[in-house]
C-alpha cells in the first residue's frame, strides 16, 4: 500500500466564495448547517455530519482568479433518508430557492433533487432507493 492509498476519509471541503456573506447566510439559514468555527470574516466552517464545509475567499493561500459567472465549479451531494428528499424540496420552495431538477427517481438507484447555492454551485440532495 502506498502512502496515498492510506487516505480513508474526506474531512472537509473548501469553497472559494465569490460573495462570502451571501454564501454564509445561505448555508447557515437555508441549509441550516451549524457553524463549527470561524477564523475571522474570511473563513467559516459548517458542520455537515462528520465533515466540515468551509467557506473562504480567494487571496489567502491561493490567488487564482475566480471562475467566470455561470461556470460550474463544484457539485456537492448530501445524502438523506428516502422520505426526506421530497420534504427537502418543499422546504426549499418555501424558502424561495429555485429548484433545478425536482425530486426524481434515477436509473442508477437514487432519488435526487438539484438546486444551486448563491455562487452557482450545484447542490444535490439524494437518497438511495
Give pTM, 2 decimals: 0.91
pLDDT digits (tens, 9 = 90+) for 4-44: 999 999 999 999 998 899 999 999 999 999 999 999 888 99
- Which helix (H) or strand (E) segment holds residue 23: the answer is helix 20-25
Query: Within 13 Å, how many C-alpha atoms sit on residue 88's CB side?
Result: 26
Average pLDDT (40-64) is 91
Q: Where are the domains of the chain?
A: 1-61, 74-129
Residue ranges with strand state E in the chain = 12-16, 35-38, 43-48, 51-56, 75-79, 99-105, 110-116, 122-128
Pick the CATH number of 1-61 from 3.10.180.10, 3.40.50.2000, 3.40.640.10, 1.10.40.50: 3.10.180.10
> Cell 436509473 belongs to which residue?
107
Amino acid at each position: 500500500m502506498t502512502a496515498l492509498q492510506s487516505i480513508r476519509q474526506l474531512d472537509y471541503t473548501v469553497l472559494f466564495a465569490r460573495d462570502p456573506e451571501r454564501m454564509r447566510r445561505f448555508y447557515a439559514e437555508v441549509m441550516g448547517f451549524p457553524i463549527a468555527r470561524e477564523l475571522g470574516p474570511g473563513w467559516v466552517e459548517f458542520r455537515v455530519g462528520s465533515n466540515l464545509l468551509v467557506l473562504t475567499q480567494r487571496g489567502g493561500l491561493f490567488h487564482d482568479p475566480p471562475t467566470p459567472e455561470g461556470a460550474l465549479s463544484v457539485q456537492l451531494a448530501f445524502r438523506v433518508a428516502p422520505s426526506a428528499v421530497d420534504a427537502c424540496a418543499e422546504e426549499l420552495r418555501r424558502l424561495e430557492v429555485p429548484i433545478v431538477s425536482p425530486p426524481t427517481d434515477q436509473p442508477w438507484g437514487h432519488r435526487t433533487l438539484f438546486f444551486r447555492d448563491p455562487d452557482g454551485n450545484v447542490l444535490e440532495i439524494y437518497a438511495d432507493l
